[in-house]
Amino acid sequence: MHIHRLLFLLPPISAHALGGIRIIQSNDDGWAELYVRSFHDALVASGHDVVLSAPAENKSGSSSLDVEPHPRATSCQYSSCPPASGPIGCNATSPRLNWVNSFPVTAMRYGIETIGPQFWNGAAPDLAVSGPNVGSNLFLQVPFSGTVGTAVYAVGQKGIPAIAFSGASHGTLSWNTTPVPERSLVYAELAARLTDAVVASGKPYLPPNVWLNVNFPEASDECNSAANFKWVLSRINPGIFSPADVQQCGGTRLPTETDVANGDGCYVSVSVGDARDKSTAPAAEQAVVLKKLGSLLSCLP
């Protein structure tokens, strides 16, 4: 795959040229990881105007680190860029696919401030998405996750609503893996489905300082089609000493995302996160998300 340095004279494209919204996309597993590429394709298929800006290589566990990119000496992840390629670059034939030689948050920052606006006539993104991460991001993993860090940066520093997606099925995959494993396609379809539901709910897509932490269970013989999955409103931390949650499924304490992940069945946890501390958002914000996504949500058995 031939890569060249980022172009700064690309012709502007209408904000809603693809019939959707402007979406900036990132991850922490690297720009050439298959999960993020499958999701990119699914968002484009949904009609969104999406631009990927992700690390040049796997930077998992880098939390909210943000350091200016520096020129690469070696090739990018999966040999997806040649040595001595500079600090940032893009796919020569698909310039909406971009890499930044730094941490995930840095890649998101460049995507919001520099890369995305080239395609959007100077406009900012309407929504930020990250992932799907290779592996779950639950409870104690959340503060350290670069996938989460990018979403929290978009919300907390730029005021852009954001969603972080993670999938329990492990195993890194190159962008050009063929045939594409079912888990990558299923996660992409699920992530696009929730994104579309958030967009369809109307602006503002999420309350201020709120992001969604979404975790898919392992893809399996049972959970092998997007239609088989059910969505559960959850919380990030246990909340033993926290105020009551929004009333849902007959109670005022939402299940933790870990409870959802450890349960039997194809259940997806959707936690309403507070960008100020990466913990669970208060009940008032949960209620807004519940109203927006209510028709999509289910209860644990």
**Which residue did the predictor score with more confidence, 101 or 5?**
101
Which CATH class for the 3-298 domain? alpha beta
The span from the CA of 124 to the CA of 234, in Å, is 30
The mean pLDDT value for 9-33 works out to 71
Predicted confidence band at 8 (pLDDT cuts at 50, 70, 90)? very low
Quote the tokens at residue 296. Answer: 């999509």
Q: Are 29 and 133 in contact (CB under 8 A)?
A: yes
Quote the tokens at residue 37. Answer: 């590429």
**Per residue in 226-248, pLDDT tens?**
999 999 999 999 989 899 999 99
Backbone angles phi, psi at 132, to 5 degrees: -65, 135
The span from the CA of 274 to the CA of 212, in Å, is 9
Which pLDDT does position 3 carry in this prediction? 35
Amino acid at 73: A
**Per residue in 163-196, pLDDT tens?**
999 999 989 999 999 999 999 999 999 999 999 9
Q: Are 171 and 219 in contact (CB under 8 A)?
A: no
Which pLDDT does position 11 carry in this prediction? 35
Say if strands 97-100 and 88-91 run parallel, antiparallel, or are unpaired: antiparallel
Average pLDDT, the chain: 93
Domain range annotation of the chain: 3-298
Amino acid at 8: F
Residue 233, sorted as left (phi over 0), alpha (psi -120 to 50) or beta, turns out to be: beta
**Per residue in 94-140, pLDDT tens?**
999 999 999 999 999 999 999 999 999 999 999 999 999 999 999 99
Predicted confidence band at 47 (pLDDT cuts at 50, 70, 90)? very high
The mean pLDDT value for 58-71 works out to 96
Which pLDDT does position 2 carry in this prediction? 34
Distances (CA, A) of 194 to 67, 117, 212, 272: 31, 24, 10, 13
The span from the CA of 272 to the CA of 257, in Å, is 10
Nearest CA to 167 out of 7, 55, 13, 27 is that of 27
Predicted confidence band at 161 (pLDDT cuts at 50, 70, 90)? very high
Which pLDDT does position 4 carry in this prediction? 34
Long-range contacts of 110-116 (CB under 8 A, 24+ apart): 110/53, 110/69, 111/24, 111/25, 111/26, 111/51, 111/52, 111/53, 112/24, 112/154, 112/158, 112/160, 115/6, 115/51, 115/53, 115/88, 116/22, 116/24, 116/51, 116/53
Say if strands 162-167 and 210-216 run parallel, antiparallel, or are unpaired: parallel
